[in-house]
Chain A
């Protein structure tokens, strides 16, 4: 079982609010990822990091930002949430065998 944690599990907020979705892993993985997933749909990569102080944008354009100050922590921030940001956000980390481990996700609803 992978040790990767996301908080909060569910979040309902109003338009214009700033939010940070937390993701932490205790496996010492250098590579971490954020995916966005709408119900029943495929996962879209929005951000990734190959190590401390390394962050890149993914395939899907996103207004969110990420930071990687510590290996175990990869938070995602929305400066001004909008209803179009309503989705599930999944954090993952990858081991040296390329295996990707996912957290349980944060279900975000912006009113």
Chain B
């Protein structure tokens, strides 16, 4: 069946380093992808999105890369800060689905 999953359940980085969080999806019909950040006890917070007609999109300190050939999505965080510590979810949607499908999340731990 369709699924969205993450390669690494926990990622630990040093403050100031760049972080890369990966995500694989299996639905080739997916045409919209979003990264969410979820801090403890809070709802997911939108970070950045990308549509399937793009392969890269940049935001403030974040970049999302989409490789449709291998159905892979990544989130790059530049100069990671302690405030970036959270669980990060990727989510996908295709035009035939009713809502976003979420992966299982990656916990990012930033070491000072």
Q: Which of B34, B87, B98, B105 contacts A100 (CB 8 A)?
A: B34
User: How many A residues have CB within 8 A of the partner chain?
Assistant: 24
A5–B14 Cα distance when bound, in Å, is: 35
Q: Is the interface of A mostly helix, strand, loop or mixed?
A: strand
Complex contact A98–B93 (CB within 8 A) = yes
Q: Which of A35, A40, A101 contacts B107 (CB 8 A)?
A: A40
Q: Which of A40, A90, A105 contacts B87 (CB 8 A)?
A: A40
Closest Cβ of chain B to A98, distance in Å, is: 6
Q: Which residues of A sit under 8 angstroms from B107, Cβ to Cβ?
A: 40
A99–B99 Cα distance when bound, in Å, is: 11
The interface-forming segment of A14-22, A42-50, A62-70, A71-79 is A42-50
Knowing A48-B98, A48-B99, A99-B34 are in contact, say whether A42-B89 is a contact too (CB < 8 A).
yes
Q: Assess whether A58 is interfacial by the CB under 8 Å rule.
A: yes
Q: Assess whether B25 is interfacial by the CB under 8 Å rule.
A: no
Knowing A43-B44, A102-B44 are in contact, say whether A56-B103 is a contact too (CB < 8 A).
no
Interface residues on B, range: 20 to 34
Q: Which of A45, A48, A59, A105 contacts B42 (CB 8 A)?
A: A105
The 8 A CB mask of B83-112 against A (1 = contact, 0 = none) is 000010101010000111111110100000
Complex contact A90–B98 (CB within 8 A) = no
Knowing A100-B46, A103-B43, A104-B42 are in contact, say whether A42-B103 is a contact too (CB < 8 A).
yes
Q: Which of B42, B46, B87 contacts A101 (CB 8 A)?
A: B46
Which residues of A are in contact with B by a Cβ distance under 8 Å?
6, 33, 35, 40-45, 48, 56, 58-59, 90, 92, 98-105, 107
Which residues of B are in contact with A by a Cβ distance under 8 Å?
32, 34, 36, 41-46, 49, 87, 89, 91, 93, 98-105, 107
Q: What are 19 residue pairs bridging A and B, where the CB atoms are less than 8 Å apart in the complex?
A: A40-B105, A42-B89, A42-B102, A43-B44, A43-B89, A45-B100, A48-B98, A58-B99, A59-B101, A90-B43, A92-B43, A99-B49, A100-B46, A100-B91, A101-B46, A102-B45, A103-B43, A105-B41, A105-B42
